[in-house]
Chains A and B, each alone.
Chain A
Amino acid sequence: MSYYKYTRLILIAIPAIFLGHLLYQDFSPSGRLVVDYDFCSLNPFVSVWSPHGRVLDIEEIKTADEKFCQQKMVIDPVYFDVRLPQNFATARLTVWYQKSSQTKLQIGPAVDLSAWQWRLKDINYARAEGSWQVGIAEYDLVGSKLENNRLRFLVSSPGLDTSGQEIIFRKIEIEFIKEPIRGWSDFIGRLKGFVLFSKLRLFNERFF
């Protein structure tokens, strides 16, 4: 049974290596994090859209070619949160939607929720994918205040309820970007950010 100790070592190494992998992903040394939400399944990064009533129930659509989910927005505004593992400098949002050309669509992250400040931007039509329009917007996140590590986004379409129109969303994808780690100083800075986003900051505030 001398070979058994190697089996035990492997059993211990697997969760340790997996934890290292999770830490690496959370640390994102490349400075890039892509999150997407397709309305079909819950995503740990992106919350469901709320309040319900302004957005209708998620519909599952099955056609001969494909299966997808969509959600209709009927009253403005609606919100969703993105849980971030650290601070980022820029966010590039891509959204798949259907709306009439007269209907305005703006999306933006909160700058300061307590002051009700938002960085709303018009969604720029980029291309069409089948019957879906694809829009893009880019945001500067420097100075954005996060609440419980969550960045709230607001989806706005002024006058949507009075016009009787609706906007159908199929998918959103947000790419968060910051400087990649290039040296030790970057690594130390990133480590401080990592602590600030954890409960360890409470020890930091109390003792230092």
Chain B
Amino acid sequence: MKDFFKKFVADLFYISLVTWLSYFVLELLKEGLISNYFDLNLLLIFVVILGAINIIINRYKNI
């Protein structure tokens, strides 16, 4: 269960980061496509928090 949680948080972080980047590029390509309906800053905050959690719980993974 612990391994599952570690893996889950890591995947959630990378998928959220890729999602934020792709949404950001799409927003640059067509202004309003994302921001008219969804606040990208909320996703960015989520990514930053998840990144911090991921660093803490997967700290000793490669040692």
Residues of A whose CB lies within 8 Å of any CB of B are 1, 4, 7-8, 11-12, 15, 18-19, 22-23, 25-26, 44-45, 83, 85, 148-149, 194, 197-200
Number of A-B contacts (CB under 8 A): 58
Tell me which residues across on chain A come within 8 A of B36, comparing CB atoms: 25-26, 44-45, 83, 85
Q: Is the CB of A11 within 8 A of B12?
A: yes
B35 near A198: Cβ-Cβ < 8 Å: no
The answer on a CB contact under 8 Å between A26 and B23 is no
Residues of B within 8 A of A (CB-CB), count:
23
| Per-residue interface assignment for chain B, residues 17 to 43, with 1 indicating a CB less than 8 Å from any chain A CB and 0 otherwise | 001001100101111111111100000
B4 is an interface residue with CB less than 8 A from chain A: yes
Q: How far is the CB of B61 from chain A (nearest CB, A)?
A: 16
* Alpha-carbon gap, A19 to B21, bound state (A): 13
The SS class assigned to the A binding surface is helix
Give the CA-CA distance A22 to B37 in the complex, in Å. Answer: 7
Contacts of B31 in A (CB 8 A): 83, 148-149
Contact A44 B4 (CB under 8 A): no
Are A8 and B34 neighbours in the complex by a CB distance under 8 Å? no
Main secondary structure of the interface of B (DSSP, over half): helix
Bound together, the chains give a CA A46 to CA B30 distance in angstroms of 17
- CB neighbours (8 Å) of B19 from chain A are 15
Which residue of the partner chain A has the closest CB to B19? Answer: A15
Residues of B within 8 A of A18 (CB): 38
Q: How far is the CA of A154 from the CA of B41 in the complex (A)?
A: 31
A–B complex contacts, Cβ < 8 Å, 19 sampled: A1-B3, A4-B4, A7-B11, A11-B11, A15-B15, A15-B16, A15-B23, A18-B38, A19-B22, A22-B34, A23-B33, A25-B37, A26-B32, A26-B36, A44-B32, A45-B36, A83-B31, A85-B32, A85-B33
Task: Give Cα distance in the complex from A199 to B30, angstroms.
Answer: 6
- Residue B38 contacts which of A22, A45, A198, A200 (CB distance < 8 angstroms)? A22
A11 to B13, CA, bound (A): 10
B43 vs chain A, min Cβ distance (A): 9
Shortest CB-to-CB span from A197 to chain B, Å, is: 7
What separation, in Å, do the CA atoms of A15 and B20 have in the docked complex? 9
Besides A1-B3, A198-B29, 6 other A-B contacts (C-beta < 8 A):
A11-B11, A12-B15, A25-B37, A26-B32, A83-B32, A148-B31
What's the Cα separation between A11 and B12 when bound, in Å? 7
Which residue of B has the minimal Cβ distance to A84?
A: B32
